[in-house]
Amino acid sequence: MTRVTVEELNIYPLKSGRAIAKQSVRIGRTGFEWDRNWMTVDRTGKFLSQRTHPLLAQIVPEVSSDALVLNAPGRSALRVPHATEGAATGAAEGRPGAGSRVAVKVWDDPCEGVDQGDEASAWLTGFLSEAVRLVRVVSEPKRIANPKYAGSDSHSVAFSDGFPILVVNRASLEDLNTRMPEPVPMNRFRPNIVLGGLPAFAEDRIDSVRIGDVELRLVKPCTRCIITSTDQQTGERTTNPLPVLRTFRFDRALLGVTFGENAIVTTGVGASLEVGTEAVVTFET
């Protein structure tokens, strides 16, 4: 039997910002600890992503015990303390201030965020050349993964597109790259977990993955967009894998190209995952 292992663990503290590779990750109620806990929004509260703002790929986050730190070319580091939710402070009249809850939207999901203040807004506005605010996920998010796929039990999500965790198979990328005019790296697909040891696209048939004390259920193929053509260092649009994927990975039911699987956590909140750990895979019958 092939040994399946965890090859990569990644978190994305700022939605559509640069990934942070981790050797160990703790599982929280909304997926990986710190993953998609912050988000940039426009004047209406709608989320920004690399689909429309590829320069977000140049923003490099760090998370410490007391702050989120953002770095970007040509700008001094921005330190955003882990502020407690509460009354707004330091806001101009008619605008939210640090600590205030504000209405935001991820796709069609209305939800709440905690405004991170005018300094963070000015820093991101200057870098993106557009008036934006930075928000953090609320302490008890009410947004849940789509029950059509995730089931009747409520699975909380932070600011990810729709599900807590994204699982990708190393062999699937290798197969794709044999068909590409030039290879694309794994980071184009922005996975949380990369598995090694499986045949290409075996993830399509996986029901669950147990990694130590954590069990994940793979619930929905991940449909792909223009972000897969974005260089995750420069934010430039380069080699686009979508036309090649469309020739053999188009899902008629989802009306999109798929690569990787969205997952929910069924057991193991509070436990940790480690790179190199063996994964026990159960396939659909």
Query: Hey, is 226 helix, strand or coil?
Result: helix
**3: three-class secondary structure by DSSP:** coil
Average pLDDT value for residue range 61-87: 91
Tell me the mean pLDDT in the region 159-177.
98
Q: What is the pLDDT averaged over residues 50-66?
A: 97
pLDDT band at 86 (very low <50, low <70, confident <90, very high): low
Residue 207 and residue 261 in contact, taking contact as beta carbons nearer than 8 Å: no
Q: Residue 114 has which token pair?
A: 């905690």
Q: What is the mean pLDDT of the chain?
A: 95
Count CB neighbours of 119 within 10 A: 14
Task: Quick: pLDDT tens for 213-246.
Answer: 999 999 999 999 999 999 999 999 999 999 999 9
pLDDT score of 189 more than 90: yes
Residue 262 pairs with which residues in a beta bridge?
Answer: 166, 220
Span 194-205, average pLDDT: 98
pLDDT of amino acid 83: 74
- Between 2 and 242, whose confidence is greater? 242
Give the per-residue pLDDT at 84: 65
164 three-state secondary structure? coil
The residue behind tokens 């292992």 is 5
Instruction: List the one residue out of 172, 156, 187 whose CA is nearest residue 12.
Output: 187
Distance CA 38, CA 68 (A): 9
Round to whole Å and give the CA distance between 115 and 93: 15
Q: Say if residue 95's pLDDT is above 70.
A: no
In this prediction, residue 71 has a pLDDT band, given cuts at 50, 70 and 90, of very high
pLDDT band at 146 (very low <50, low <70, confident <90, very high): very high
Average pLDDT over residues 265-271: 97
pLDDT band for position 96 (cuts 50, 70, 90): low
Residue 160 pLDDT class (50, 70, 90 cuts): very high
Per residue in 12-35, pLDDT (tens digit) is 999 999 999 999 999 999 999 999
Q: In 3D, which of 132, 134, 154 has the Cα closest to residue 144?
A: 154
pLDDT band at 88; cut points 50, 70, 90: low
Task: Write down all domains in the chain, each with its CATH number in brackets.
Answer: 5-31+145-283 (2.40.33.20), 36-137 (no CATH)
pLDDT tier, 9 (very low <50, low <70, confident <90, very high otherwise): very high
Q: How many CA atoms lie within 13 A of 224 on its CB side?
A: 25
Checking if the pLDDT of 278 tops 60, the result is yes
C-alpha closest to that of 201 among 177, 170, 228: 170
**Tokens 């809850």, located at residue:** 101
* DSSP-H helix ranges across the chain: 118-128, 147-150, 170-179, 242-246
Task: Provide CB contacts within 8 A for 3, sequence distance 6+.
Answer: 197, 278
**Cβ-based burial of 86 (10 A; exposed 0-12, middle 13-18, buried ≥19):** exposed
Which tokens belong to 103?
């209405």
Q: How far apart are CA 278 and CA 196, in angstroms?
A: 10
Model confidence band, residue 11 (pLDDT cutoffs 50, 70, 90) = very high
